[in-house]
Amino acid sequence: MSKPRLATVWLDGCSGCHMSFLDIDERILALAEKADLVYSPLVDTKTFPEEVDITLVEGSVSNEDDLHKIQIVREHTKTLISLGDCAVTANVPAMRNPFFTKEVYDRAYRENVTFDPGTPNQVVPRLLPFARPVHEIVPVDVFVPGCPPSAEVIFYVLTELLEGRTPELSAKTRFGA
Partner 1 sequence: MEQRKTIVIDPVTRIEGHAKITLQLDEQGHVEDAHFHVTQFRGFEKFCEGRPFSEMPALMARICGICPVSHLMASAKVCDALLAVRIPPTADKLRRIFGLAQVVQSHALSLFYLSSPDLLLGMDADPASSNLFGVAQKNPALALDGIRLRQFGQQIIERLGGKRIHPAWVVPGGVSEPLTLLNRDAILGALPEALQIAERTLEWFKGISEKFREEIATFGNFPTLFMGIVKHDGGLTFYDGKIRISDASGNVVADGLEPARYSDYLGEKVEPWSYLKSTYYKPKGFPEGIYRVGPLARMNVADRCGTPRADQELAEFHELQRTAVLSSFHYHQARLIEILYCIERMEQLLNDPEILSKHVRAFARPNELEGVGACEAPRGTLFHHYKIDEQGLIRWANLVIATGHNSVAMNRSILQVAKHFVRGDRLSPGMLNRVEAVIRTYDPCLSCSTHASGRMMLRVELRNSGGEIVDQISS
The CA distance from 44 to 39, in Å, is: 8
When the beta carbons of 75 and 166 are compared against partner 1, the nearer one is 75
When the beta carbons of 71 and 125 are compared against partner 1, the nearer one is 125
The CA distance from 173 to 30, in Å, is: 24
Q: Are strands 36-39 and 127-132 parallel, antiparallel or unpaired?
A: unpaired
Q: By the criterion CB under 8 A, which residues form the site for partner 1? A: 9-20, 22-23, 25-26, 28-29, 32, 37, 39-48, 59, 62-63, 65, 69, 92-93, 95-96, 98-99, 103-105, 107-109, 112-125, 127, 147-148, 150-151
Q: Are strands 61-63 and 127-132 parallel, antiparallel or unpaired?
A: antiparallel
Q: CB of 161: closest distance to partner 1 in angstroms?
A: 20
Q: CB of 70: closest distance to partner 1 in angstroms?
A: 10
When the beta carbons of 124 and 164 are compared against partner 1, the nearer one is 124
Picking from 104, 116, 20, the residue whose alpha carbon sits closest to that of residue 63 is 104
